[in-house]
C-alpha cells in the first residue's frame, strides 16, 4: 500500500471552539446562553459535517449567468450553487439577520447573532456577503427613518419566512472606483409624477441576485463629490418578475469568493426611491457600511478559526520525521502563534458586536458611542490583515497538500484575501479611523485602563505593562503627528490604526484571560494573551515620508538621515 496522508477533519464547530464558548460564557447571562446553546450546537454540527462535506464536493461548482433564452429574449438568469441555496434556507431558519432585529436577547442580541454567523460563515462559501448587506440595508433604512421603505422592505430583510425573505445588495462601486465613492457617475432623473429613474453602470455588485439594493446616484444638477450623491432604494424586479431596467453584463472573474455572483450591470431608467433626501448619500449609506464592516470582522475571525481547526487536527494525524506534527516543537510554536492571533481577533470583534447591541437598545454611554464608531474600522482593518496571514500560515502547516486545489484548502486563502480589500481597504479604513480618533482618544484610553486594571494575576503583569506602554506610545504618536501636519499624519495612519487595533485586542483578551482564570480555572486565554503580545502589538516605527517616497517610487533620496533607517516596525 502506498502511503497516503490523512485528510484533516472537523468536529462540532461550536463544541470544539473553546475560545468562543468561553467568550459567550462571560458575555451572555446564564439564561440567554442556556436558551441559545442548542441552536449554536446544531449549527456547529452542520458546519463541521454536512455543510463542510457539501462545500468540498461542490468545490468546482460556480454560479452561472445565462443572458439569453433559446428564443432570443434577454433573461440574465443567475443560477446559484446548491450550497448557496441551502445557505439561504439555513440563514432564514437560524435567523442570522433576524436575531439582531427581534431583540429577543435585548442588548445581547448582536452577540448571539454574530456567534451564529461565526459558525455558519466558513462552511457556506461566503454566503455571509448577501447576509451582511441585508443586515446593513435594514440598519440604514431604519437609521434614515423613511417610514414607507421601513414598512415595505425591513420586514422582508429580517424575515424568518422563506417565502417572504429578501436579501439586499449594496451597489456602490462604479468603474471610477470602490474607495472614492464620491466619483460615482450614475445619474438620477426625476420623471413624470416625480418618480426617480437611475442611469449608470455599477461595476462590482455583490450579490447581483438580491431582491433589492441600496445604491448611490447623483440627482441631475447636484454638485460633484460624495455630498452631491443621494442614497436610493430600488427593487430589482417588478411584480411580474421582470428586471427593473437592469442588465447584467457578466459575473466577475475573481481570485476568490467565486460562489458569490458579483455582477457588472447597467441601470437604465431603473425605478428608485430616495431613502433620505436628495444629497449626502455617502453619509446616509454609512450605517450600512459599518454593519458590513463588522460582518467582515466576524468573517475574518471565523476563517482564522477554521484554518487553525484544520491545521490542529492535521497536526495530530500527520506523522513526519518519526512523530506526529503535534509533537514537534517548531510546529507547535507556529500553531500557538496562530491560535493567539485568532483569540485576540475574536475578542476585539465581539467587543464591537457587544457595543452595537447596546447601542441598538439605547444602552450605550456617550463615550462608548465614540468607541463603537472608532473600533468598527479598527476591527475590520486589524482582522483583515490577521486573517490573510493566519490562513496563509495555516496552509503552510499542510506542506504541499495545502497548495493542492482538491484538498479544498486553497479556497480558504483565496476567500480570506477579499477581507482586507472589500468594505474599505486597510488604508481607507485607517483614514476613516483618523476621522474619529480625536473623539475616541479618551474613551480608548479609559477602555485600555479599565481592562488592565481588571487583571490581577502576576503571570499577566508583563503583558499588561507592554499594553500600557504601547497605548502611551500611540497617544504620543498621534499627538506629535497631528502637530507635524496632515501629510505626516496620513503617512502613519495605517501603522497607528493597526497598533491601536492590536493594543485594544490585547487589552480585551487580557481582561478575558483574568476572568477565565478565575471562573473557568483555565489558563489558555492567558497563554493566548501573552503570546499575542509577544507576536508584537506596536507597529508604529519611525515614519519619514521623504524616505518612503524614495523607496516607493525608487527615486534617489534627497537626504539619508540616520534615524528613520533604524525604524523598528515593518
Which of 137/149 has CB closer to ligand MFK? Answer: 137
Count of residues interacting with ligand MFK (CB under 6 A): 28
Binding mask 432-471 for ligand MFK (x = CB under 6 A): x--x------------------------------------
- For the CB of residue 485, give the shortest distance to ligand MFK in the complex, in Å: 19
Which of 63/226 has CB closer to ligand MFK? Answer: 226
Which of 177/337 has CB closer to ligand MFK? Answer: 177
Sole binder of ligand MFK in the list 422, 433, 515, 532 (CB under 6 A): 422
Sole binder of ligand MFK in the list 282, 364, 390, 510 (CB under 6 A): 282
Q: Which residues, numbered 117-136, are part of the site for ligand MFK (CB under 6 A)? A: 128-129, 132-133
Alpha-carbon gap, residue 41 to 11, rounded angstroms? 11
Taking CB under 6 A as the binding criterion, the range among 33-41, 85-93, 285-293, 349-357 that sits at the site for ligand MFK is: 285-293
Sole binder of ligand MFK in the list 22, 123, 292, 334 (CB under 6 A): 292
Binding mask 236-275 for ligand MFK (x = CB under 6 A): ----------------------------------------
Sole binder of ligand MFK in the list 290, 411, 426, 514 (CB under 6 A): 290
Alpha-carbon gap, residue 334 to 316, rounded angstroms? 14
Alpha-carbon gap, residue 505 to 532, rounded angstroms? 9
- For the CB of residue 292, give the shortest distance to ligand MFK in the complex, in Å: 4
Which of 179/222 has CB closer to ligand MFK? Answer: 179
Sole binder of ligand MFK in the list 299, 334, 349, 516 (CB under 6 A): 299
Alpha-carbon gap, residue 429 to 452, rounded angstroms? 27
Pairing of strands 196-205, 212-219: unpaired
Which of 28/356 has CB closer to ligand MFK? Answer: 356
**Which neighbouring-strand residues pair with 213?**
169, 234
Sole binder of ligand MFK in the list 143, 428, 545, 550 (CB under 6 A): 428
Which of 114/515 has CB closer to ligand MFK? Answer: 114
Task: Check if the beta carbon of residue 379 is closer than 8 Å to that of residue 350.
Answer: no
- 457 φ, ψ (degrees, to nearest 5): -70, 125
* CA nearest neighbour of 135 among 372, 262, 280, 298: 298
401 Rama sector, left if φ>0, alpha if ψ -120 to 50, beta otherwise: alpha
Which of 146/426 has CB closer to ligand MFK? Answer: 426
* CA nearest neighbour of 214 among 160, 162, 139, 269: 139
- For the CB of residue 350, give the shortest distance to ligand MFK in the complex, in Å: 15
Residue partners of 525: CB distance under 8 A and separation at least 6: 19, 22, 343, 509, 512, 513, 516, 517
- For the CB of residue 261, give the shortest distance to ligand MFK in the complex, in Å: 12
- 201 φ, ψ (degrees, to nearest 5): -125, 125
Task: Check if the beta carbon of residue 487 is closer than 8 Å to that of residue 480.
Answer: no
3-state secondary structure 207-251: CCCCCEEEEEEEECCCCCCHHHCEEEEEECECCCCCECCEEEEEE
Sole binder of ligand MFK in the list 206, 407, 466, 516 (CB under 6 A): 206
Task: Check if the beta carbon of residue 378 is closer than 8 Å to that of residue 497.
Answer: yes
- 537 φ, ψ (degrees, to nearest 5): -120, -15
- For the CB of residue 276, give the shortest distance to ligand MFK in the complex, in Å: 12
* CA nearest neighbour of 10 among 41, 52, 57: 52
Q: Which residues, numbered 53-112, are part of the site for ligand MFK (CB under 6 A)? A: none
Sole binder of ligand MFK in the list 160, 189, 254, 283 (CB under 6 A): 283
Binding mask 207-236 for ligand MFK (x = CB under 6 A): -------------------x----------
Alpha-carbon gap, residue 244 to 267, rounded angstroms? 8
* CA nearest neighbour of 121 among 388, 352, 419: 419
* CA nearest neighbour of 24 among 105, 117, 111: 111
Sole binder of ligand MFK in the list 424, 443, 492, 501 (CB under 6 A): 424
- If one asks whether residue 296 binds ligand MFK (CB under 6 A), the answer comes out as yes
Binding mask 159-188 for ligand MFK (x = CB under 6 A): -----------x-xx----xx-xx------
- For the CB of residue 86, give the shortest distance to ligand MFK in the complex, in Å: 18
Which of 18/283 has CB closer to ligand MFK? Answer: 283
Which of 135/544 has CB closer to ligand MFK? Answer: 135
Which residue is nearest to ligand MFK, using beta carbons?
226
Q: Is 146 helix (H, G, I), strand (E, B) or coil?
A: coil
- For the CB of residue 285, give the shortest distance to ligand MFK in the complex, in Å: 8
Q: Is 187 helix (H, G, I), strand (E, B) or coil?
A: strand
Alpha-carbon gap, residue 358 to 147, rounded angstroms? 24
DSSP secondary structure code for residue 268 in this structure: E
Q: How big is the chain by its Cα radius of gyration, in Å?
A: 24
Binding site for ligand MFK (CB under 6 A): 128-129, 132-133, 170, 172-173, 178-179, 181-182, 206, 226, 282-283, 286, 289-290, 292, 295-296, 299, 422-424, 428, 432, 435
Amino acid at each position: 500500500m502506498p502511503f497516503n496522508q490523512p485528510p484533516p477533519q472537523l468536529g462540532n464547530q461550536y463544541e470544539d471552539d473553546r475560545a468562543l464558548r468561553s467568550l459567550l460564557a462571560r458575555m451572555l447571562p446564564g439564561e440567554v446562553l442556556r436558551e441559545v446553546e442548542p441552536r449554536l450546537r446544531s449549527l456547529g454540527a452542520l458546519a463541521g459535517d454536512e455543510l463542510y462535506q457539501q462545500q468540498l464536493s461542490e468545490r468546482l461548482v460556480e454560479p452561472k449567468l445565462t443572458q439569453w433564452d433559446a428564443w432570443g429574449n434577454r433573461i440574465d438568469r443567475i443560477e446559484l450553487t446548491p450550497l448557496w441555496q441551502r445557505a439561504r434556507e439555513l440563514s432564514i431558519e437560524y435567523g442570522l439577520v433576524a436575531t439582531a432585529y427581534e431583540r429577543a436577547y435585548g442588548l445581547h442580541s448582536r452577540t448571539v447573532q454574530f456567534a451564529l454567523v461565526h459558525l455558519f460563515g466558513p462552511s457556506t462559501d461566503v454566503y455571509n456577503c448577501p447576509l451582511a448587506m441585508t443586515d446593513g440595508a435594514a440598519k440604514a433604512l431604519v437609521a434614515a427613518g423613511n417610514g414607507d421603505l421601513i414598512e415595505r422592505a425591513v420586514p422582508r430583510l429580517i424575515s424568518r419566512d422563506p417565502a417572504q425573505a429578501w436579501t439586499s445588495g449594496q451597489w456602490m462601486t462604479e468603474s471610477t472606483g470602490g474607495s472614492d465613492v464620491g466619483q460615482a457617475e450614475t445619474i438620477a432623473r426625476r420623471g413624470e409624477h416625480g418618480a426617480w429613474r437611475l442611469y449608470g453602470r455599477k461595476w462590482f455588485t455583490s450579490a447581483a441576485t438580491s431582491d433589492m439594493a441600496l445604491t448611490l446616484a447623483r440627482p441631475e444638477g447636484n454638485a460633484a463629490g460624495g455630498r452631491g450623491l443621494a442614497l436610493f432604494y430600488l427593487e430589482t424586479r417588478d411584480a411580474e418578475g421582470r428586471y427593473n431596467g437592469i442588465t447584467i453584463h457578466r459575473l466577475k472573474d475573481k481570485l476568490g469568493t467565486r460562489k458569490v455572483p458579483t455582477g457588472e450591470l447597467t441601470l437604465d431608467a431603473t425605478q428608485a426611491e430616495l431613502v433620505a433626501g436628495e444629497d449626502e448619500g455617502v453619509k446616509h449609506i454609512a450605517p450600512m457600511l459599518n454593519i458590513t464592516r463588522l460582518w467582515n470582522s466576524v468573517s475574518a475571525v471565523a476563517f482564522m478559526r477554521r484554518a487553525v481547526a484544520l491545521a490542529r487536527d492535521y497536526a495530530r494525524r500527520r506523522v513526519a520525521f518519526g512523530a506526529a506534527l503535534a509533537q514537534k516543537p517548531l510546529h507547535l510554536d507556529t500553531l500557538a502563534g496562530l491560535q493567539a492571533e485568532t483569540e485576540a481577533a475574536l475578542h476585539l470583534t465581539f467587543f464591537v458586536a457587544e457595543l452595537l447591541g447596546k447601542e441598538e437598545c439605547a444602552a450605550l454611554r456617550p463615550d462608548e458611542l465614540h468607541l463603537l464608531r472608532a473600533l468598527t474600522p479598527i476591527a475590520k482593518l486589524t482582522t483583515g490583515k490577521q486573517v490573510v496571514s493566519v490562513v496563509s500560515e495555516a496552509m503552510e502547516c499542510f506542506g504541499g497538500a495545502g497548495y493542492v486545489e482538491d484538498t479544498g484548502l486553497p479556497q480558504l486563502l483565496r476567500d480570506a484575501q477579499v477581507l482586507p480589500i472589500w468594505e474599505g481597504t486597510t488604508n481607507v479604513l485607517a483614514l476613516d479611523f483618523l476621522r474619529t480618533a480625536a473623539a475616541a482618544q479618551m474613551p480608548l484610553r479609559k477602555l485600555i485602563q479599565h481592562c488592565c486594571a481588571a487583571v490581577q494575576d502576576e503571570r499577566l503583569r508583563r503583558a499588561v505593562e507592554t499594553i500600557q506602554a504601547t497605548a502611551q506610545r500611540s497617544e504620543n504618536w498621534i499627538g506629535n503627528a497631528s502637530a507635524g501636519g496632515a501629510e505626516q499624519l496620513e503617512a502613519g495612519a495605517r501603522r497607528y490604526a493597526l497598533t491601536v487595533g492590536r493594543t485594544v485586542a490585547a487589552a480585551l483578551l487580557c481582561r478575558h484571560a483574568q476572568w477565565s482564570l478565575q471562573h473557568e480555572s483555565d489558563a489558555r486565554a492567558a497563554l493566548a494573551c501573552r503570546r499575542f503580545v509577544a507576536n508584537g502589538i506596536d507597529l508604529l516605527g519611525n515614519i519619514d515620508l521623504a524616505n518612503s517616497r524614495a523607496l516607493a517610487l525608487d527615486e534617489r533620496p534627497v537626504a539619508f538621515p540616520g534615524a528613520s533607517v533604524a525604524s523598528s516596525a515593518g
